[in-house]
Amino acid sequence: MPPPAEIAVALLLLASGAVVLVAALGLARLPDFFARMHAPALASTLAAWIVTLASIIHFSTRGGGLALHVWLVIIVLSITAPVTTIVLARAALFRRRQAGDALPPPLGGRL
């Protein structure tokens, strides 16, 4: 693999790690479950896209042609990550309702 491609792949992987690190800090610092869900959900999808781009560069320079088989992984991740986040949020709301706890206010003050 040519050195510029290696540098690009390394920088993209470092950027992905930095995004996940920021998400982990947000996960540790945010006050409640619903706020904590936000940072990792967005960051994991962004980090996955960055790793996908790094993988495309790596396999394309190694194999001699454009390697787009990596797109299958990111398409599945991009579909399942938001759905998983919504399911977790609904399960948490259900558990809070069952326990009789106060629910978070609706967005924008509307129902």
What would the pLDDT profile of 27-57 be if each residue is shown by its tens digit? 888 888 888 887 788 888 899 999 999 999 9
What residue type is assigned to position 32 of the chain? Answer: D
Q: Which of helix, strand or coil describes residue 106?
A: coil
Say which range, 12-26, 59-73, 97-111, has the weakest mean pLDDT: 97-111
39: left (phi over 0), alpha (psi -120 to 50) or beta: alpha
Q: What is the pLDDT of residues 85-103, one digit of tens each?
A: 889 888 988 898 888 887 7
Chain centroid offset of residue 3 CA: 29
What residue type is assigned to position 67 of the chain? Answer: A
For 4, residues 6+ apart whose C-beta sits below 8 A from its C-beta are: none
Task: Find out whether 12 and 54 touch, Cβ atoms under 8 Å.
Answer: yes
d(CA 111, CA 105): 9
Put simply, whether the predicted model's pTM sits higher than 0.85 gets the answer: no
Q: What are phi and psi of 66, to 5 degrees?
A: -70, 120
pLDDT at residue 79, rounded to an integer: 86
